[in-house]
């Protein structure tokens, strides 16, 4: 004989428990992603010994922030394409230029190239490639 409701209530409770567990897991993953973002301070100067080790072997992630510290009026930070980076060429008009002396750049996923566009500075070592996973 069929009994109404007896087994259906148990299935509903189990489904609700599974749904709550999934929401908890998703919420935890989002929190972990945000908590993993870091700020990396860069002493933006002519010393490749200071700049390059930061990029060599370092794993950056989308959401991490680079904090460029330098003397405004003497240096700047420009995000450029690979060709401009490789040649230390003149940045394109659309390039983002930072000039405050304390610039925060939040990384998006992919390859980034930064140079100082003051005459001779890029060729003097003020350039850094950064890859964010």
pLDDT at 16 over 90: no
The reported pTM is: 0.70
- Percent of the chain, pLDDT > 70? 65
Closest Cα to residue 54, out of 91, 116, 64, 121? 64
Q: What is the mean pLDDT of the chain?
A: 81
The pLDDT score that the predictor gives to residue 29 is: 46
pLDDT at 32 over 50: no
pLDDT at 115 over 80: yes
The residues, ordered by sequence, that sit 6+ positions from 110 with a Cβ below 8 Å of its Cβ are 131, 132
Residue in the block written with tokens 């992919």: 110
The pLDDT score that the predictor gives to residue 45 is: 86
The pLDDT score that the predictor gives to residue 28 is: 47
* Per-residue model confidence as pLDDT tens digits over 59-100: 899 999 999 999 999 999 999 999 999 999 999 999 999 999
Closest Cα to residue 79, out of 54, 44, 38? 44
The pLDDT score that the predictor gives to residue 34 is: 52
> What stretches of 37-81 show up as alpha helix (H) in DSSP?
48-55
- The mean pLDDT of 8-22, rounded to a whole number, is 52
DSSP code for 117: -
């Amino acid at each position: 004989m069929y009994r109404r409701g007896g087994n259906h209530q148990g299935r509903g409770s189990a489904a609700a428990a599974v749904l709550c567990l999934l929401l908890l897991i998703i919420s935890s993953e989002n929190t972990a992603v945000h908590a993993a973002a870091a700020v990396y301070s860069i002493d933006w100067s002519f010393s490749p010994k200071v700049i390059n080790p930061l990029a060599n072997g370092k794993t950056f992630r989308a959401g991490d922030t680079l904090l460029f510290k330098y003397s405004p009026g003497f240096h700047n930070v420009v995000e450029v394409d690979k060709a401009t980076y490789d040649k230390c060429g003149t940045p394109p008009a659309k390039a983002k230029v930072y000039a405050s002396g304390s610039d925060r750049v939040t990384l998006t996923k992919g390859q980034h190239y930064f140079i100082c566009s003051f005459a001779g500075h890029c060729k003097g070592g003020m350039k850094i490639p950064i890859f964010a996973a």
